[in-house]
Amino acid sequence: MMRTRTFVTIGVLGACGIAVGDPAPDRALGEIAQLDKAIDAATRKMDNAAILALWADDGVSLLPSTKPLVGKPAIGKFLDEVLGSLKGAKMKAFEQECHDIEVSGAWASEWCTEHQLVELPGGKPPFEGWGKLLLVLHKGADGKWRIAREMWNEAVKP
């Protein structure tokens, strides 16, 4: 019975496109970790072009109290408006920690927590915020993982 169950399990996994002993999931985890590092670096630099390059062309960002941002042009416009309202601001600290990466073929998901401290110009008090994100990632035909969907909301200060 146990032997039959093992063969059935291997057969089901194979039918779902999951190769037993396949190194692809480990490779995907490493590639997604690199994407997370790129998100971190671009955010620290407040580099909208670098951030936008990490998005899929048809990406969707779901932020609190706003309409969905659909596609790179809408996401880019939003990023430019935010950064435009923060002329002279500097990212003093940014921490992001992602958890529970799950990969299914060319799709993956993970959730992250983030904390940022932004120094504002003109003697204004700094902005300090915490957030929670849910990311849905897609690996394109070019082999690069990109953000396909993002949902962000405010987190409580630890």
Extract long-range pairs of 36-40: CB within 8 Å, 24+ residues apart.
36/96, 36/98, 36/110, 36/112, 39/96, 39/147, 40/94, 40/96
Domains annotated on the chain, with CATH: 24-154 (3.10.450.50)
Among candidate residues 147, 128, 123, the one with its CA nearest the CA of residue 136: 147
Give the model's pLDDT for residue 11: 39
**99: its two tokens:** 């958890």
Give the model's pLDDT for residue 107: 97
Expressed in percent and rounded to 5, the helix, strand and coil fractions of the chain are 35, 40, 25
**122: its two tokens:** 């003109």
Per-residue pLDDT of the chain (158 residues; tens, 9 = 90+): 434 333 333 333 333 444 444 446 789 999 999 999 999 999 999 999 999 999 999 999 999 999 999 999 999 999 999 988 888 999 999 999 999 999 999 999 999 999 999 999 988 999 999 999 999 999 999 999 999 999 999 999 88
Give the model's pLDDT for residue 19: 41
Distance, in Å, from the CA atom of 139 to the CA atom of 147, rounded to the nearest integer, reads 9
Give the model's pLDDT for residue 24: 60
